[in-house]
Amino acid sequence: MYWLVLILSGALEAVWATALADSDGFRRRGPAVLFVVTVIASTAGLAYAMSGLPAGTSYAVWVGIGAVGTVLLAVARGQEALGLARGVLLLLLVSCVIGLKVVA
């Protein structure tokens, strides 16, 4: 259960990071509200996951999922390009996150 919450919280990190960028310095209300709601939910999920998983591993997985998710959201929205090198590096990051889960 802790892993599922951690994965969902990492996905919410990608949402809040994207919403933060879209908020234009909190000048756009919709993205700003989405940021506040998802940052609270994401952090609460991380806190819950840390109650049953090692803190360092939990944080690394949360950040890894959030970082990869944020890039993929930007690519899907046409805001960033995904070249070969960037794609390989993202795959390596995902591999590391999976590795942390395997050894934890």
pLDDT tens across 67-99, in order?
Answer: 999 999 999 999 999 999 999 999 999 999 888
Number of domains in the chain: 1
The domain in which residue 74 lies consists of 2-103
Neighbours of 63 (CB within 10 A): 15
pTM for the whole structure: 0.88
CA–CA separation, 54 and 48 (whole Å): 11
Q: Residue 11: what residue type?
A: A
Annotate 19-57 with b (16+ C-beta within 10 A) or e (fewer).
Answer: bbeebeeeeeeebbebbeebbebbeebbebbbeebeeeb
CA–CA separation, 10 and 28 (whole Å): 24
pLDDT tens across 12-51, in order?
Answer: 999 999 999 999 999 999 999 999 999 999 999 999 999 9
